[in-house]
Amino acid sequence: MEYFSSLAIALIFIILGKHGAKLWERIKIMNIGNFRKEYTLNGLRRKDLNRDPFKQFELWFQQACDANLPEPNAMSLATASVLAEPSQRMVLLKYFDRKGFVFFTNYESKKAQQITENSQVSLLFFWVALERQVQILGNAVKISTAESIKYFATRPRGSQIGAWCSQQSSVISSRKMLEMKFDEIKRKFQNQEIPLPSAWGGYRIVPHSFEFWQGRQNRLHDRFLYSCSDDDSWEIQRLAP
């Protein structure tokens, strides 16, 4: 097939009709399996790691920012219900320190409901341009209202209004209804500061393990696991790729 032009391939599929569509689906499936990328940028050695996983994360996060990657603070948040039903979504890390990693959401959302049932969660940062990922496992806890108010005040006004008008994860009849609610809240708080919604705030993920992954050639990736010990020190182990 590689010797035909794109136009010729398209004409063949048109002639074949529905059979061509089925063939194209098969080809797409085969091509996905043939995707290949060698990871050649860097290696990761034990002696290069900081003993402190928070400092190691800070170093990698700063390098992701310095590389001008889009949304370097985007992270996949995995939660599970009390029945072990998993769910994932992308959220934005807003700040972190030695106490943990903070993101904000609606406390009536699906993620919040699952955190209430099972506070153990997973975060995953994937900086593909740097051939790196970091997985963090930990316990999710609500931050204080005062801390949420402090962050909420820094949000753009449109985002503040959006937090009031969206009952996250609930079924809505149309986008028009959502936009009407936005206009209603906008009028309600016209010419005044917008207060923190009672159902909106932050969670802090308190880690008990970090895994730093660096892509390497031949799929022999470097993986290092930091595990928190009873005395709050961190044990570092190399994992097989």
Mean pLDDT of 84-102: 97
Looking at the fold, whether 171 and 230 belong to one and the same domain comes out as: yes
Q: Measure the CA–CA gap between 194 and 160, rounded to whole angstroms.
A: 7
Q: Which residues are 202's β-sheet partners?
A: 104
pLDDT band at 22 (very low <50, low <70, confident <90, very high): low
Q: How do 86-92 and 95-97 pair as beta strands?
A: unpaired
Of 2-11, 34-43, 183-192, the range with the lowest mean pLDDT is 2-11
Taking a C-beta distance cutoff of 8 angstroms, is the pair 200, 152 a contact?
Answer: yes
The per-residue pLDDT for 20 is: 59
Closest CA to 57 of 105, 93, 88: 93
Looking at the fold, whether 1 and 114 belong to one and the same domain comes out as: no
Residue 72 has pLDDT above 90, yes or no: yes
Query: In the block, which residue shows the tokens 């993101």?
Result: 103
Residue 143 counted as domain residue: yes
Q: What is the pTM of this model?
A: 0.83
Looking at the fold, whether 32 and 105 belong to one and the same domain comes out as: no
Taking a C-beta distance cutoff of 8 angstroms, is the pair 220, 239 a contact?
Answer: no
Looking at the fold, whether 100 and 194 belong to one and the same domain comes out as: yes
Looking at the fold, whether 30 and 73 belong to one and the same domain comes out as: no
pLDDT band at 2 (very low <50, low <70, confident <90, very high): very low
Residue 183 counted as domain residue: yes
pLDDT band at 232 (very low <50, low <70, confident <90, very high): confident
Residue 5 has pLDDT above 50, yes or no: no
Mean pLDDT of 156-163: 96
Residue 44 counted as domain residue: no
Q: What is the CATH number of the domain that holds 96?
A: 2.30.110.10
Looking at the fold, whether 82 and 198 belong to one and the same domain comes out as: yes
Taking a C-beta distance cutoff of 8 angstroms, is the pair 205, 140 a contact?
Answer: yes
Distances (CA, A) of 79 to 57, 71, 102, 127: 22, 21, 15, 21
What's at 115, amino acid-wise?
I
For the chain, the domain total comes to 2
Looking at the fold, whether 27 and 108 belong to one and the same domain comes out as: no
Looking at the fold, whether 63 and 167 belong to one and the same domain comes out as: yes
Q: Measure the CA–CA gap between 144 and 157, rounded to whole angstroms.
A: 22
Residue 85 counted as domain residue: yes
Which residues form the domain of 206? 50-239
Looking at the fold, whether 189 and 227 belong to one and the same domain comes out as: yes
Looking at the fold, whether 86 and 28 belong to one and the same domain comes out as: no
The rounded percent of the chain whose pLDDT value lies above 90 is 77
Catalytically active residues are 219
pLDDT band at 235 (very low <50, low <70, confident <90, very high): very high
Q: Measure the CA–CA gap between 10 and 13, rounded to whole angstroms.
A: 5
Q: Measure the CA–CA gap between 104 and 166, rounded to whole angstroms.
A: 14
The per-residue pLDDT for 4 is: 41
Looking at the fold, whether 118 and 218 belong to one and the same domain comes out as: yes
Residue 105 counted as domain residue: yes
Taking a C-beta distance cutoff of 8 angstroms, is the pair 214, 43 a contact?
Answer: yes
Looking at the fold, whether 56 and 32 belong to one and the same domain comes out as: no
pLDDT band at 198 (very low <50, low <70, confident <90, very high): very high
Which alpha helices (DSSP H) does the chain contain, by range? 6-16, 18-33, 53-66, 110-117, 145-152, 157-165, 175-188
Residue 224 has pLDDT above 70, yes or no: yes
Of 6-10, 64-68, 106-110, the range with the lowest mean pLDDT is 6-10
